[in-house]
Structure 1
Amino acid sequence: MLRILGKASSINVRKVLWACAEIEIPFEREDWGAGFKSTHMPEFISLNPNAMVPVIQDEDLVLWESNSIIRYLASRYNGAHLYPDQPRLRARVDQWMDWQASDLNKSWTYAFMSLVRQSPEHQDAKSLAAACGQWSRHMEVLDRQLESTGAYVSGDEFCLSDIPIGLSVNRWFETPLDHPDFPAVRAYYERLSRRPGYLLHGRNGIP
């Protein structure tokens, strides 16, 4: 059975859990990370030298990096409805997954650490204002894309790119800051909320 290492509150672990829910993959999960078993233990470092969750073990395969994991799961476990084989369609999915990991993910770091984690190192007012503005600018990019598709990030149908971005949208709404009005993002949030996997692992009260 698929083994998932990582605490269920981690946004990156939640990507994997939601993907498993969508593809109906049975798994066993173990709590690793802050508040649980340390990812700096030799046992974990031997699996992921970066000491970060999630990690999966699928038979003799060990894999880390959450977006790589969900791509693998969709390819391995009959998830072509989420991650198409056709190169042009797959490239569009990959494009938005990579944008989430490289651009959107970085835009929220300071604001999230300040407003949700209450980190003492992230309480500079000017830096926080700049970070909130940067986050809003990236959400505006997403709003325009969703307005264009009228449905999901990569097109008419729910697909793998909606998992990391859907979790990012939940984090946006769950973080206590002034939210500009992005109607397409709000409609997307409600659309995703009709999916049981999103209610379990996305819109579940955890930012």
Structure 2
Amino acid sequence: MSALKILGRAGSINVRKVLWTCLELGLSFEREERDWRSPDFLALNPNGMMPVLLDGADFVLWESNTICRYLAHRQGRADLLPSTPRERARVERWMDWQATELNNSWRYAFMSLVRQSPAHQDAELLRAGIEGWNRHMTLLDAQLQSTGTFVVGPEFTLADVVLGLSTHRWRAAPMDKPELPALEAFYQRLCQRPAFMAQGPGAGP
């Protein structure tokens, strides 16, 4: 198959999803930094967001969760992304939840506490952000209590890739958190995977 190129910063959580997926799939790839404001990059992704995947000379793809799905399907890995409609939907439901509900819940608190952005220091917005982030992680903990292992069941899937990095970010944030034993057990299971160690603890919050 053609060579893969991933455009994006190594520390970006969305880039790391794609890098982790590539490692799980055993794919060879290059990662390249690009200026997201440059005309050349905007011609690839008019949103000005990373990552962007280049698969050969004629295929460009953006949106990190979509890239992960594409790569799993490209490699025929139905263990990571099932081919049957109901099983696939169970995985994609949690991937979409991560990209919409969960991501939106942590953005303000992360920018305030970890990035220390001057524009994100309103005390009331920070309090609400921490509360919302913890609430969403509590929902994930309840799901993991019901499955006992990974996000959708006993087998590791792409849902665990995207939510594993979200869990790593939450654990690293310097804020008060509830005790979530199922979530902690999930995190420790992920730590047994070399690809997660490279793109989670080994790559930053």
Contact persistence 1:104–1:138 (CA under 8 A): yes
Contact persistence 1:153–1:161 (CA under 8 A): yes
| Letter matched to residue 152 of structure 1 | F
Count of paired positions: 202
Post-superposition Cα deviations, 1:135-182, rounded to whole Å, max 9, x if no partner, equal: 010001000000000000011110011111000000001110011100
Where do 4+ consecutive residues of structure 1 move more than 2 Å? none
1: CA distance between counterparts of 2:74 and 2:195?
A: 19
Structure 2 CA distance for partners of 1:63 and 1:205, relative to 1, 3 Å:
closer
1: CA distance between counterparts of 2:189 and 2:133?
A: 22
Give 3-state SS (helix, strand or coil) of 1:12's partner.
Answer: helix
Matched, 1:46 2:43: yes
The corresponding residue for 2:19 is 17
The corresponding residue for 1:35 is none
Matched, 1:89 2:87: yes
Deviation at 1:117, TM superposition (A): 0.6
2: CA distance between counterparts of 1:24 and 1:147?
A: 30
Deviation at 1:80, TM superposition (A): 1.5
Post-superposition Cα deviations, 1:84-115, rounded to whole Å, max 9, x if no partner, equal: 10111000000000000010000000100000
The corresponding residue for 2:183 is 185
Contact persistence 1:25–1:77 (CA under 8 A): no
Deviation at 1:205, TM superposition (A): 5.3
Give 3-state SS (helix, strand or coil) of 1:46's partner.
Answer: helix
Deviation at 1:127, TM superposition (A): 1.1
Give 3-state SS (helix, strand or coil) of 1:56's partner.
Answer: strand
2: CA distance between counterparts of 1:47 and 1:20?
A: 21
| Letter matched to residue 147 of structure 2 | T
Matched, 1:128 2:126: yes
1: CA distance between counterparts of 2:85 and 2:123?
A: 45
The corresponding residue for 1:137 is 135
The corresponding residue for 1:8 is 10
Give 3-state SS (helix, strand or coil) of 1:29's partner.
Answer: strand
Contact persistence 1:23–1:78 (CA under 8 A): no
Deviation at 1:78, TM superposition (A): 2.3
1: CA distance between counterparts of 2:11 and 2:25?
A: 20
Deviation at 1:203, TM superposition (A): 2.2
The partner residue of 2:109 within 108, 111, 123 is 111
Structure 2 residues without counterparts, runs of 5 or longer: none
Question: How high is the sequence identity, in percent, across the aligned residues?
Answer: 56
Contact persistence 1:55–1:64 (CA under 8 A): yes
The corresponding residue for 2:202 is 204
1: CA distance between counterparts of 2:147 and 2:137?
A: 15
Contact persistence 2:23–2:195 (CA under 8 A): yes
Give 3-state SS (helix, strand or coil) of 2:44's partner.
Answer: coil
2: CA distance between counterparts of 1:62 and 1:93?
A: 24
TM-score, length of structure 2 as denominator length: 0.97
Post-superposition Cα deviations, 1:69-91, rounded to whole Å, max 9, x if no partner, equal: 00000000122110010111000
| Letter matched to residue 145 of structure 1 | Q
| Letter matched to residue 128 of structure 1 | L
